[in-house]
Amino acid sequence: MQRALATLTNLFPVWVVLCCAVALYYPPAFTWFDRPLIIWGLGIIMLGMGITLSLDDFRRVLTMPRAVATGMAAQFLLMPLCAWTIATLLELPVAYKVGLILVSACPGGTASNVVTYLARANVALSVLMTMCSTAAAIVLTPLITSWLAGQYVPVDGWQLFLSMIKIVLLPLVLGMAIHHLFPKAVEVVLPVGPLVAVVVIALICASIIGANADEVRASGFSLLAAVALLHGAAFTAGYLFAWLFGYGPQIRRTISIEVGMQNSGLATVLARSHFANPLTAIPCAISAVVHSVIGSIAAAYWRTRPQPDESEQGLSEDGRSAAEIR
């Protein structure tokens, strides 16, 4: 049973691409999944992430602080700057510019953990980075969006911040409380959690594509190219950034994946909730398809390469185990 669930979860890019393709040509198949359901769906994903976390997970950050900090810097500095540069150079319409910047300012998504596993990279670091970037995004996503997108449209950073509290922080804290109070129930639910997240993300993206199917078809190649360039640049920049800091192949792969794969579902919800133009959400929805495809291709390539002979997995940056540090 668990193997079947894992297989269905690992096919995440396939489900997203299929659902979005159907939505593009038959919107009613997914437009029923509208804004209230989208917000509840994302809350369920964040709750699912929360039940996988404990205070011990936060302590583990102390075993590899430089790697986490390097990845976070790449995610919240390089990715948004890449988005702003690409949107400016391609002269995208304002709504698409804002959407591209918004998705770049969001934290890493849970799908990155799956892709990291498939790529034979450092899964522990991937989970830590996703956790830390999600927590940091409560403050950084509104700030970065206001800074880079505020020149195009009015951005209410305070309302974005309040949404991050409601959509991200509260479900995470509730999930951690459930993890602590009902550990046996959590053990039953955990195997299903990743697949539920995959289904919800596919529904969110397909709903946005379906609701704006005419505009997506009309945008043609330019928007798809912009999103593909963004994620391609992010994967590359994350890898090179880690290389510059002297990390080995496993950590380079991990940071590349974490920087390249954003929480597109969160970006979509924020776009729908805080920007008047519905087209702002389209780059966010397309982002989920593109980063899944690029991530899967990268994972397939890295999986065929020789396994790096490194002791990074589960170790701190000076080579000591977490147990030795404690």
- DSSP one-letter string for 241-295: HHHHTT--HHHHHHHHHHHH-B-HHHHHHHHHHH-S-GGGGHHHHHHHHHHHHHH
Query: Are the C-beta atoms of residues 275 and 153 closer than 8 Å to each other?
Result: yes
pTM: 0.76
Q: What is the mean pLDDT of residues 79-103?
A: 91
pLDDT one-digit tens code per residue, 277-320: 888 888 888 887 788 788 878 887 887 777 665 544 444 444 33
The more confident residue out of 63 and 40 is: 40
To the nearest whole percent, how much of the chain has pLDDT over 70?
90
Query: Are the C-beta atoms of residues 227 and 97 closer than 8 Å to each other?
Result: no
Q: What is the mean pLDDT of residues 170-194?
A: 85
pLDDT one-digit tens code per residue, 4-54: 887 787 777 788 889 888 988 899 999 898 878 878 887 887 788 778 777
Copy the structure tokens of residue 278.
């519905």
pLDDT class for 228, splitting at 50, 70, 90? very high
CA–CA gap between residue 113 and residue 104 (Å, rounded) = 18
Closest CA to 208 of 153, 160, 273: 273
- All domains of the chain in start order, with CATH: 38-305 (1.20.1530.20)
pLDDT one-digit tens code per residue, 115-126: 777 777 887 788
Three-state DSSP class for residue 321: strand
pLDDT class for 3, splitting at 50, 70, 90? confident
Q: What is the mean pLDDT of residues 187-192?
A: 83
Q: What angle do CA 278, 153, 39 make, to 5 degrees?
A: 40
pLDDT at 101 (0 to 100):
93
pLDDT at 202 (0 to 100):
83
Q: Give burial (CB, 10 Å; 0-12/13-18/19+) of 103.
A: buried
Q: What is the mean pLDDT of residues 215-227?
A: 82
3-state secondary structure 28-56: HHCCCCCHHHHHHHHHHHHHHHHCCCCHH
pLDDT at 310 (0 to 100):
53
With a cut of 60, say whether residue 221 has pLDDT above it.
Answer: yes
To the nearest whole percent, how much of the chain has pLDDT over 90?
19
Copy the structure tokens of residue 173.
């804290």
The more confident residue out of 1 and 186 is: 186
Q: Which residues, including other chains, have CB under 8 Å from residue 276's CB and lie 6 or more apart?
A: none
Identify the top-confidence range among 149-163, 167-181, 236-250, 254-268: 236-250
With a cut of 50, say whether residue 237 has pLDDT above it.
Answer: yes
Q: Cα 204 to the chain's mean position, in Å?
A: 14
The more confident residue out of 290 and 194 is: 290
pLDDT one-digit tens code per residue, 256-270: 999 998 888 788 888
Copy the structure tokens of residue 160.
């974005």
The more confident residue out of 44 and 323 is: 44
With a cut of 50, say whether residue 324 has pLDDT above it.
Answer: no
> What single letter denotes the amino acid at residue 58?
F
Helix (H) or strand (E) holding 238: helix 213-244
Q: Which residues, including other chains, have CB under 8 Å from residue 259's CB and lie 6 or more apart?
A: 71, 74, 75, 78, 79, 108, 234, 235, 237, 238, 241
Residues in a beta bridge with 321 = 315
- DSSP one-letter string for 115-177: HHHHTT--HHHHHHHHHHHHHHHHHHHHHHHHHHHTTTS---HHHHHHHHIIIIIHHHHHHHH
Q: What is the mean pLDDT of the chain?
A: 81
CA–CA gap between residue 234 and residue 135 (Å, rounded) = 20
Q: Which residues, including other chains, have CB under 8 Å from residue 324's CB and lie 6 or more apart?
A: none
Residues in a beta bridge with 262 = 108
pLDDT at 278 (0 to 100):
82
* Main-chain phi, psi angles of 245, to 5 degrees: -90, 5
pLDDT at 156 (0 to 100):
72
Q: Which residues, including other chains, have CB under 8 Å from residue 245's CB and lie 6 or more apart?
A: 66, 70
